[in-house]
């Protein structure tokens, strides 16, 4: 490997890896909470992305007709190593879901909690039906809750509000991942993730080789029978090849990352797909 890559590149790459590892282990050594929230929201009983009920369909809740029904599955958990306690939530700006377009919550239910000792709860405000309060005693690492919400707002995804002392909730949309079966279960992820990464790494190495090293590689791969001189690749072209390789590595890594579970396994519901 030392013959393939120049000493300058070895030093640079080693230095970058060292900086990354130092920062990674420094972050791991800090025992800090990391509050996370994911939403999976849509309008139920509608056509495609329509927000209104189809013609001729009426829905009532507690004998009251509602114009639409939106639903959300919300996961709240602690992704950090430090304990997330209720004392970190501001008493004057508590954790809550809100509807900003005149909608009302029809139901709010705790579907699952990973640790019953955390005493997680969600409750609609009786005086303000557009607000649902969330409470818990504490959340250790990977502890959390799954909340189901039904409401009548135009926006399927309710807003999450509340202030924390020194921290903020990282909120993201939970993507719908397509499931593969049989041979496709490993073939499709391999084609979309590992092949781009392999091609990208090969392009990066090829771009970093000098003419002599390129010729040695061709001879070693039996692409040429004699080690005849070759025309060196221009510097700009080598840079372009490296950038293309980096792009393919990012594409493959991004697909792999998107396929990873976005929440702790303990917060998985039996109906999740």
Mean of the per-residue pLDDT values of the chain: 78
CA 168 to each of CA 84, 103, 113, 164, 197: distance values in angstroms, whole numbers, following the listed order: 12, 26, 21, 6, 34
pLDDT digits (tens, 9 = 90+) for 193-234: 778 888 888 887 777 776 666 666 565 555 555 545 556 666
At residue 149, the pLDDT reads: 96
Do 146 and 109 meet the contact criterion of CB atoms below 8 Å apart?
no
Q: What is the pTM of this model?
A: 0.64
pLDDT digits (tens, 9 = 90+) for 27-37: 666 668 889 99
- In 3D space, the residue among 64, 66, 29 whose CA is nearest the CA of residue 44 turns out to be 66
Measure the CA–CA gap between 106 and 64, rounded to whole angstroms.
11
- In 3D space, the residue among 33, 37, 102, 101 whose CA is nearest the CA of residue 72 turns out to be 37
**Token representation of residue 259:** 């396929």
Is beta strand 69-78 parallel, antiparallel or unpaired with respect to 144-151? Answer: antiparallel
Contacts of 40 (CB under 8 A, 6+ apart): 72, 73, 74, 173, 174, 176
Measure the CA–CA gap between 237 and 217, rounded to whole angstroms.
18
Q: DSSP character for 164?
A: B
At residue 121, the pLDDT reads: 96
Domains with residue ranges and CATH for the chain:
33-173 (2.60.40), 179-267 (no CATH)
CA 209 to each of CA 194, 199, 202: distance values in angstroms, whole numbers, following the listed order: 23, 16, 11
- In 3D space, the residue among 160, 193, 184 whose CA is nearest the CA of residue 35 turns out to be 160
Is beta strand 138-139 parallel, antiparallel or unpaired with respect to 59-61? Answer: unpaired
Residue 150 bridge partners (DSSP): 71, 107
**Token representation of residue 129:** 């039906």
pLDDT digits (tens, 9 = 90+) for 246-266: 888 888 777 766 555 678 888
Measure the CA–CA gap between 273 and 269, rounded to whole angstroms.
9
Q: DSSP character for 32?
A: -
Number of CB atoms found within 10 A of residue 92's CB: 5
Q: List, run by run, the mean pLDDT of 10-residue segments along the chain (273 residues).
A: 47 63 64 87 74 78 86 92 91 93 93 95 95 96 95 92 86 63 58 78 75 62 53 68 81 68 81 55
At residue 5, the pLDDT reads: 46
Do 196 and 61 meet the contact criterion of CB atoms below 8 Å apart?
no
Do 178 and 137 meet the contact criterion of CB atoms below 8 Å apart?
no
At residue 59, the pLDDT reads: 83
């Amino acid at each position: 490997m030392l013959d393939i890559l120049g000493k300058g590149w070895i030093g640079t790459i080693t230095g970058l890896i060292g900086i990354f590892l130092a920062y990674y282990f420094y972050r791991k050594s800090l025992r800090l909470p990391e509050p996370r929230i994911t939403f999976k929201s849509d309008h139920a009983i509608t056509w495609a992305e329509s927000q209104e009920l189809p013609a001729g369909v009426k829905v009532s809740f507690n004998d009251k007709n509602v114009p639409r029904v939106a639903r959300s599955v919300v996961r709240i958990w602690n992704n950090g190593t430090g304990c997330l306690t209720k004392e970190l939530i501001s008493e004057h700006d508590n954790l809550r879901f809100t509807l900003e377009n005149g909608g009302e919550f029809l139901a709010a239910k705790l579907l699952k909690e990973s640790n019953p000792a955390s005493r997680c709860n969600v409750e609609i405000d009786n005086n303000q039906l557009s607000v649902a309060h969330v409470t818990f005693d504490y959340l250790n690492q990977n502890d959390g809750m799954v909340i189901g919400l039904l409401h009548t707002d135009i926006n399927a995804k309710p807003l999450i509000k509340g202030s924390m002392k020194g921290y903020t909730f990282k909120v993201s949309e939970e993507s719908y991942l397509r499931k593969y079966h049989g041979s496709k279960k490993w073939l499709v992820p391999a084609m979309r993730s590992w092949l781009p990464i392999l091609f990208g790494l090969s392009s990066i190495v090829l771009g970093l080789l000098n003419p002599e090293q390129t010729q040695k590689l061709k001879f070693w791969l039996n692409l040429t029978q004699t080690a005849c001189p070759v025309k060196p690749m221009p510097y700009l072209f080598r840079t372009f090849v490296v950038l293309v390789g980096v792009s393919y590595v990012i594409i493959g890594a991004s697909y792999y990352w998107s396929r990873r579970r976005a929440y702790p396994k303990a917060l998985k519901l039996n109906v999740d797909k």
